Structure 1
Amino acid sequence: EEVATEDKTTAPPSPDHQEQTDAAPTATEDWQKGLTLALRQAEPKLSQWLNIIVEGVEEKGQDLWDRLAFLFRALGAPEDESKAFIKKFDKWLDEMGYEAVEEFKSELQYRLALALDLEDEEDERDRLFVKLSEGISKTREQITKRIDGLLSSHSKLDDDFWEEFEEILIMADVGMEAANQLMDNLKERARKAGTDDPDDFKDILRDELEEIFKVPPRIEAVNPPEVLMMVGVNGVGKTTTIAKLAHRAQMQGRKVLIAAGDTFRAAAIEQLEVWANRIGAGFFAKAEGSDPAAVAYEAMDKAVNEGYDLLLLDTAGRLHTKVNLMEELKKIERVVGKKHEGA
């Protein structure tokens, strides 16, 4: 459907005669005109568009659905997709108990990015990461300049050179112990290479850093699916960590199943299901109070039969001093291992 313009927009029927739809009735002509103009003038970013869409809207409701439906039309999305999105998101808000726009705005942006196939901008944590990265980049640039200056002022890798290089490391907050270890390793590499030429120093330094930060080889699951059981005390973030791991695995092209092994709390099962639905992962659960080992066994069966690459198994929080609860973890491990060799 074409984007409504000032010339082509037609007034909708009066409110008394409007036909109700899942995606809400069409807004008034003036409302459409103002929103169209604002969207055209805005920077082409989803976050900017969403700010315009929700401006003046404090809570979920018909006004918000009108505006979201308009955004879908403005971006050329089919009407049935608009209706389905709004209906599904409204249901999710009811399940989560959210009313105020500020409570769910970030989630709405995330879902819009997926539904409209748009690039989602970074969240606050990403922006913080960018700031930290910029700071690290500046430090790296300063170190590089100082090393370049050091190399240009020395004709060989003598004691004076190493002393000044050590100073550069300490000024970069590498730490005395790490600086000394790096110095010893570099000197040994230079000795083995039979060189004291500053022109060779960068190659020696690069080789040493590559050795230090070498990524250890990862043992892939020979007999998939791979199984990860999340354990820990209450409140450490097992559930959200599962969601992050599942999302990361799916980005790598893996098929993920999440199993709700915390059967002591119904809320834990519901929360995990919300996360699974949000990221599009498979989900398995049994009724509250079920045997966690039975959940694990049946989830393993589902993962094997349906070709999942990764099974993420949640468990109830527990202290290591609770013998019975620790034995329960051993039982879960045993039954999963019996169902799937090597798990």
Structure 2
Amino acid sequence: MGFFSKIKKFWDVDQRLDKAVEEYKTERGMPEETPAGEATVKAPPAQAKPVPPAVAAPTAPKPADVGAPSAKVPPKAEAWQNDLLLSLRKAEPRLSIWLSIVLEGVDKAGPQLWERLLFLFKALEAPEAEAKDFVERFRKWLDDMEYVRVPEFRSELQFRLALALELEDEEDERNRLLLKLSEGLEKTKEQISKRIEGLMASHSKIDESFWEELEEILIMADVGFEPSMKLIERLRDRVRKAGTDDPARFKEFLREELETIFKAPKRITAINPPEVVMMIGVNGVGKTTTIAKLAYRAQMQGRRVLIAAGDTFRAAAIEQLEIWAKRVGAGFYSKGAGADPAAVAFEAVDKAVSEGYDLLLLDTAGRLHTKINLMEELKKIQRVCGKKHPGSPHRSILVVDATTGQNALQQAKLFGEAVGVDEIILTKLDGTAKGGIVVAIALEHALPITFVGLGEKMEDLRPFNGKDFAQALLGT
């Protein structure tokens, strides 16, 4: 939904909704506003007496209630449409506020919710087909999850809207991510932030004993010895340039240094479509669910996704990935258990090219990074992809389990040497006290960490932002 990038500039949204109001009122013959700017809604003829859906008595959900939504709203609903348009126009232009207005009086999934969501898309000048596709996908997801009540799915709905409307960097969404990140880093904060606060309180100045204690804190948080030495050296230089030895300013220096460390290097992002992404990593890191979450995000952003089951060795791996593909609405390709992984890759690329997919996520067998023959197989997969579709795979993403600490650092090193790693996704960050590995990976390998896993839900795979990480970790 590229057209939605325009509404990122919030100062344009009010005028856009104004325009939508006037066009919709002209189209439907709705009443004008009073000169004072206060909305007035003319009462309908006595014989009509429509009841706006927002105040209608809720009914138990039935299969018919959750059928394919229609953009056409019956004439009796015109009063609530007018009220909703006026409320959206007057509201602060934030997704969370718009959604609260849309959900007012709605307590469960059903026709009333579908109508209101379609109405929101219309007010934002979304093409009808894309709006209906969004609502239909969400309806199917609710059916799969057996969610009915709004509190069960409100967070998921807002997340999907943020992706579809390209509003993930909106202030409200960033605040939600920061809160989630802070909660996920709670165990790591015990190891780093709180100990640093104790260090600052116990020293009157930043001296050699201060640096020695800091080294111990970093190593205990799984930053590792060499990365800790690099970080301390950089911090020494920053403190020296600031011309102060006041411990009270140390968190400020550390936050600034972390933000610098996490700045992703420039790279060429343009590709010859379809984009082919090879997913690599050892067993048990959560690669399969990460693929599903990436496919989910891409689908919500309007991309057509194909998932290929290149892990042909692990029991039930293919079936598991196929279930996830169906769940998120992505295409799926497999040659069955025991097939040659390189052949799967070659034919999957061919399918992606010939059938017009935008993105191919190629799963590979989880493997021990110390197994040379399995690493050679990854190289073969890379070669055959490039033969079928020059330039592919365009990215190799290493999925790493944050709870493994220093072992994750070793994985990044050996996979990088064998097949090259373009970026890292760090899973299970919410369940570890070893979050210092994030710093270690950035310092040792200069690899961008693009996403972090903060839970089991689809919405819990979030873009990594160095500034937010530093803020969540240090509480500054």
* TM-score bucket of the superposed structures, by smaller chain: 0.5 to 0.7
Q: Structure 2 CA distance, aligned partners of 1:83 and 1:109?
A: 17
1:87 to 136, 139, 159: 136
Within a 5 Å distance, the mapping from 1:57-96 to structure 2 comes to: 57-94=106-143
The answer to whether the 8 Å contact 1:300/1:339 transfers is no
Report the equivalent of 1:48. 97
The answer to whether the 8 Å contact 2:88/2:98 transfers is yes
Q: How many residues align?
A: 294
The answer to whether the 8 Å contact 1:297/1:335 transfers is no
Which one-letter code corresponds to 2:309 in the other structure?
A
Report the equivalent of 2:381. 336
Report the equivalent of 1:107. 156
1:268 to 318, 321, 338: 321
Within a 5 Å distance, the mapping from 1:31-180 to structure 2 comes to: 31-32=80-81, 35-36=84-85, 38-40=87-89, 42-94=91-143, 97-119=146-168, 120=170, 121-122=173-174, 124-129=176-181, 164-169=206-211, 175=217
Q: Structure 2 CA distance, aligned partners of 1:248 and 1:81?
A: 16
Q: Which has the higher contact order (CA 8 A, sep 6+)?
A: 2
The answer to whether the 8 Å contact 1:23/1:86 transfers is no
Q: Structure 1 CA distance, aligned partners of 2:129 and 2:293?
A: 31
The answer to whether the 8 Å contact 2:276/2:359 transfers is yes
Distance change in 2, residues 1:274/1:335 (3 Å): farther
Identity of aligned residues (%): 40
CA deviations 1:35-68 (Å, max 9, x no partner) are: 4465455432111221232244343210111211
CA deviations 1:178-212 (Å, max 9, x no partner) are: 799689969x99xxxxxxxx77968xxx9xx79x9
Q: Secondary structure at the match of 1:51?
A: helix
Q: Structure 1 CA distance, aligned partners of 2:261 and 2:73?
A: 58
CA deviations 1:84-133 (Å, max 9, x no partner) are: 43234334444555444344433322333344454551374432446879
Shift of 1:238: 0.9
Q: Structure 2 CA distance, aligned partners of 1:247 and 1:241?
A: 10
Which one-letter code corresponds to 2:347 in the other structure?
E
Distance change in 2, residues 1:106/1:137 (3 Å): same
Q: Secondary structure at the match of 2:73?
A: coil
The answer to whether the 8 Å contact 1:65/1:86 transfers is yes
What runs of 5+ residues in structure 2 fail to find an aligned partner?
A: 1-19, 26-32, 34-38, 51-67, 220-224, 245-252, 388-418, 420-476
Within a 5 Å distance, the mapping from 1:222-237 to structure 2 comes to: 228-233=278-283, 236-237=285-286
The answer to whether the 8 Å contact 1:300/1:340 transfers is yes
Distance change in 2, residues 1:310/1:317 (3 Å): same
Which one-letter code corresponds to 1:336 in the other structure?
I
Q: Structure 2 CA distance, aligned partners of 1:31 and 1:68?
A: 13
The answer to whether the 8 Å contact 1:24/1:69 transfers is no
Within a 5 Å distance, the mapping from 1:294-309 to structure 2 comes to: 294-302=343-351
Report the equivalent of 1:313. 362
Kindly report the root-mean-square deviation, in angstroms, between the aligned alpha carbons of the 2 structures.
Answer: 6.0
Distance change in 2, residues 1:217/1:34 (3 Å): closer
In the superposition, the TM-score normalised over structure 1's length comes to 0.55
Shift of 1:256: 8.3
Distance change in 2, residues 1:87/1:312 (3 Å): closer
Q: Secondary structure at the match of 2:174?
A: coil
Q: Structure 1 CA distance, aligned partners of 2:294 and 2:380?
A: 23
2:71 counterpart of 1:23: yes
Which one-letter code corresponds to 2:280 in the other structure?
M
Distance change in 2, residues 1:273/1:10 (3 Å): farther
2:308 counterpart of 1:259: yes
Which one-letter code corresponds to 1:297 in the other structure?
F
Q: Secondary structure at the match of 1:122?
A: helix
Within a 5 Å distance, the mapping from 1:177-188 to structure 2 comes to: none
The answer to whether the 8 Å contact 1:54/1:64 transfers is yes
Stretch deviating more after TM superposition (177-186 or 26-35): 177-186
Which one-letter code corresponds to 1:47 in the other structure?
S
Distance change in 2, residues 1:183/1:87 (3 Å): closer
The answer to whether the 8 Å contact 1:257/1:311 transfers is yes
Q: Which has the larger radius of gyration?
A: 1
Distance change in 2, residues 1:101/1:173 (3 Å): farther
Distance change in 2, residues 1:302/1:28 (3 Å): closer
